[in-house]
């Protein structure tokens, strides 16, 4: 006899919780375009590229000899891990986790959120994923085993577990909220943000540190993706031209590395402490292609479903969307299908939408792609600038959509705020879409 009452109560609670608004109050990153959000953003809108030629001897025999690596060194826009961690600390973590910790420190400082009170730590969670484990770690450890059991590091397992970036962040800062990790190939970073958004909106926590990290550029990884015919192989001597989303001469993606971390916060929580607000997360959509291990569904159904669910979750009309940050990795098949899906989804509003893929500048960061590009989308919404798609010279698709080839463009909208979608798709047919918007009080 009590079932109807319980059902009604839960429905009302859900309705109240769903009104909780979620905003972005902090961001941090390390990526091929530089160290720190402002350095990378400035390089991006200045049409610079982080793709270089891989000159180590082991790459000589491979079809692809380019990659988008984090600039290493002691310069102002370079990274030396030993400036951040002791040798003992570095033995406990893979490079991706180290990148995530560095980006997290920047994001928390940016958000001015390093709580000391236990109640605040319990109300702060972490959702950070890694797309692929470090294959170099696996190979090196296997070779060590051949020399003897005691040569295997006791930290080997923690170094290769995809949830260890989230774990290390939680441990370092004492965050006792949801401790969550996502590993959904190239959709990892976007899924992590979306899941964190739902944790806050659903009332489980007030603050989430979220994003993804990747550090898997190695001869074995390059060789494996080459065997899939996924990487660019035609511009080894012109690395800056290798990643060319939507361009007629694209021939595959360029592998990248890095980490990008966002601090998401319940709006009232952010307002009460007078936090700086970059943007608002409006919605999140997920889908599966149910088609192929590595190729997207040819009709774009999976992408359409993810975008549709994100927009419905946001409670907005498609006419409010004026920018779509595409997943577009620079593969012949994937880019064309995504454009077809976007135009099919946007319909009559397609003429009012600009599409861009920043992977032309920083390559494809795999598990850290969706989150890095989400940061760029957030900055675009805040500053009214659409970042360029580098190396887009000859669009080979018939479409009503607009683009931003090679140089930035002003984000013009006829609505009251700038609203964007951020797409991210992964092997196995997993898709994510975030709806992000300029923050209006």
**Mean pLDDT of the region 70-82:** 95
- Given 186, 210, 216, 433, the catalytic residue: 186
180-213: burial string, b at 16+ Cβ within 10 Å, e else? bbbbbbbbbbbbbbbbbbbbbbeeebbbbbbbbb
Q: What is the mean pLDDT of residues 15-34?
A: 86
The alpha carbons of the chain give a radius of gyration, in whole angstroms, of 21
As a whole number, the mean pLDDT across the chain is: 94
pLDDT at 420 over 80: yes
Residue 346 has pLDDT above 60, yes or no: yes
User: Above 80 in pLDDT, residue 319?
Assistant: yes
H-helix segments, 153-244: 156-160, 164-173, 188-201, 219-227
Q: Is the pLDDT of residue 16 over 60?
A: no
Where is pLDDT greater, at 225 or 299?
225
327 is catalytic: yes
DSSP 20-52: --EEEEEEEEEETTEESHHHHHHHHHTT---EE
pLDDT exceeds cutoff 60 at 61: yes
Confidence category of residue 76, pLDDT binned at 50, 70, 90:
confident
Average pLDDT over residues 199-224: 97
Residue 64's φ and ψ, nearest 5 degrees, are -105, 130
Query: How far is residue 305 from each of residues 252, 285, 299, 316, 374, measured CA to CA in Å?
Result: 25, 8, 11, 15, 19
- Please tell me the predicted confidence (pLDDT) of residue 2: 29
Instruction: Assess whether 364 carries a catalytic annotation.
Output: yes
Label residue 18 by pLDDT band (50, 70, 90).
low
Q: pLDDT by residue (tens digit) across 83-110? A: 999 999 999 999 999 999 999 999 999 9
Per-residue model confidence (pLDDT) at position 17: 44
What is the rounded (10 degree) CA torsion for 386, 254, 33, 183? 90
Mean pLDDT, to the nearest integer, of 336-364? 97
Is residue 116 predicted with pLDDT exceeding 80? yes
Q: Model confidence over 371-404: pLDDT tens digits?
A: 999 999 999 999 999 999 999 999 999 999 999 9
Mean pLDDT of 300-307: 96
CA distance 162 to 58: 26
Q: Which position among 210, 269, 364, 433 bears the catalytic label?
A: 364
Q: Which of 180, 191, 327, 362 is catalytic?
A: 327
Is residue 393 annotated as part of the catalytic site, yes or no? no
Q: What is the mean pLDDT of residues 287-310?
A: 91
Looking at residues 126-152, what average pLDDT do you find? 95
Structure confidence at residue 297 (pLDDT): 82
- List all residues 6 or more positions away from 231 whose beta carbon is below 8 Å from its beta carbon: 63, 64, 222, 225, 252, 253, 254, 255
If you average pLDDT over residues 298-314, what whole number do you get? 95
CA torsion angle for 70, 75, 76, 77 (degrees, to 10)?
-20
Of the candidates 208, 196, 200, which has an alpha carbon nearest to the alpha carbon of residue 21? 200
Q: Is the pLDDT of residue 4 over 60?
A: no
pLDDT of res. 19: 74
pLDDT > 70? residue 180 = yes
| DSSP per position, 275-309 | ----EEEEEEEEEE--S-SSSPPTT-HHHHHHHHH
pTM here is: 0.94
Q: Please give the pLDDT value at position 400.
A: 97
For residues 349-362, give the mean pLDDT: 98
pLDDT reported for residue 48: 98
For residue range 25-42, list pLDDT tens digits in order.
999 999 999 999 999 999
């Amino acid at each position: 006899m009590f079932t109807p009452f319980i059902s009604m109560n839960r429905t009302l609670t859900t309705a109240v919780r769903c009104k909780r608004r979620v905003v972005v109050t902090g961001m941090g990153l390390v990526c091929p375009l530089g160290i720190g959000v402002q350095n990378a953003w400035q390089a991006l809108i200045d049409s610079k590229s982080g793709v270089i030629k891989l000159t180590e001897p082991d790459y000589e025999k491979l079809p692809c000899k380019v990659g988008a690596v984090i600039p290493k060194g002691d310069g102002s826009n370079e990274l030396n891990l030993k400036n951040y961690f002791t040798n003992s600390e570095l033995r406990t973590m893979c490079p991706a986790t180290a990148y995530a910790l560095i980006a997290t420190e920047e994001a928390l400082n940016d958000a001015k959120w390093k709580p000391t009170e236990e109640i605040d730590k319990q109300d702060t969670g972490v959702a950070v994923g890694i797309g692929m484990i470090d294959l170099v770690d696996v190979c090196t450890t296997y070779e060590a085993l051949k020399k003897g059991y005691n040569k295997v590091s006791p930290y080997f397992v923690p170094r290769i577990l995809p949830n260890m970036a989230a774990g290390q962040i939680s441990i370092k800062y004492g965050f006792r909220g949801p401790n969550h990790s996502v590993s959904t190939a190239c959709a990892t970073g976007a899924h992590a943000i979306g899941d964190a958004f739902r944790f806050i909106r659903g009332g489980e926590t007030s603050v989430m540190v979220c994003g993804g990290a990747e550090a898997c550029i190695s001869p074995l990884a390059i060789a494996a993706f080459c065997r899939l015919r996924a990487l660019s192989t035609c511009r080894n001597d012109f690395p800056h031209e290798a990643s060319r989303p939507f361009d007629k001469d694209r021939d595959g993606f360029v592998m990248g590395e890095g980490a990008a971390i966002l601090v998401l916060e319940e709006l009232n929580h952010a307002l009460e402490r007078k936090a700086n607000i970059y943007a608002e997360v409006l919605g999140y959509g997920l889908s599966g292609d149910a088609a192929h291990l590595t190729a997207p569904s040819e009709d774009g159904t999976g992408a359409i479903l993810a975008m549709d669910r994100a927009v419905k979750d946001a409670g907005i009309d498609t006419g409010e969307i004026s920018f779509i940050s595409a997943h577009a990795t620079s593969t012949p098949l994937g880019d064309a299908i995504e454009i077809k899906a976007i135009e099919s989804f946007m319909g009559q509003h397609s003429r009012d939408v600009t599409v861009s893929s920043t992977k032309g500048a920083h390559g494809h960061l795999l598990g850290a792609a969706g989150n890095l590009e989400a940061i760029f989308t957030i900055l675009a919404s805040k500053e009214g600038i659409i970042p360029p798609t580098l190396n887009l010279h000859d669009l080979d698709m018939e479409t009503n959509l607009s683009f931003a080839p090679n140089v930035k463009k002003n984000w013009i909208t006829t609505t009251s705020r700038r609203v964007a979608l951020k797409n991210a798709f992964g092997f196995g047919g997993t898709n994510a879409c975030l709806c992000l918007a300029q923050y209006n009080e």
